[in-house]
């Protein structure tokens, strides 16, 4: 007689597939791995940036979208748009 107990993992998998029906249609492993390898990718076009810097004095540029994290070729980045990588000048709070 077959044991009809479904493992908790399979139940969870069914839940996930119900919410995201297209999940796992592509080889899931490669997608996840490729996302992991591409961590830190930020797109920046120096040509656009320098053009924008030069033109800024004269006229208004198309304003950047509210989303400031992904800068792609779709809009011209301004110096304010670029994510600021501030260097840590503050001492660690562990060292108090």
The binding site for other proteins (CB under 8 A) comprises 7-13, 15-17, 19, 23-24, 28-30, 32-34, 36-37, 39-44, 46, 83, 85-88, 90-96
Q: Tokens at residue 14, please? A: 């069914």
Q: Tokens at residue 22, please? A: 């297209």
Smallest distance from the beta carbon of 59 to other proteins, in angstroms? Answer: 28
First-to-final CA distance of the chain: 66
Smallest distance from the beta carbon of 52 to other proteins, in angstroms? Answer: 17
Q: Tokens at residue 59, please? A: 């006229």
Distances (CA, A) of 32 to 35, 38, 79: 5, 10, 33
Q: Which is nearer to other proteins, 60 or 87 (CB)?
A: 87
Smallest distance from the beta carbon of 58 to other proteins, in angstroms? Answer: 27
3 state SS of 55: helix
Q: Which is nearer to other proteins, 12 or 63 (CB)?
A: 12
Smallest distance from the beta carbon of 61 to other proteins, in angstroms? Answer: 22
């Amino acid at each position: 007689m077959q044991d009809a107990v479904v493992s908790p993992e399979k139940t969870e998998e069914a839940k996930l597939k119900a919410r995201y029906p297209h999940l796992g249609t592509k080889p899931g492993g490669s997608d996840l791995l490729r996302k992991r390898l591409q961590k830190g990718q930020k797109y920046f076009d120096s040509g656009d940036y320098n053009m924008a810097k030069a033109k800024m004095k004269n006229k208004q540029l198309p304003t950047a979208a509210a989303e400031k994290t992904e800068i792609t070729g779709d809009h011209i980045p301004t110096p304010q748009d670029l994510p600021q990588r501030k260097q840590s000048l503050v001492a660690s709070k562990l060292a108090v």
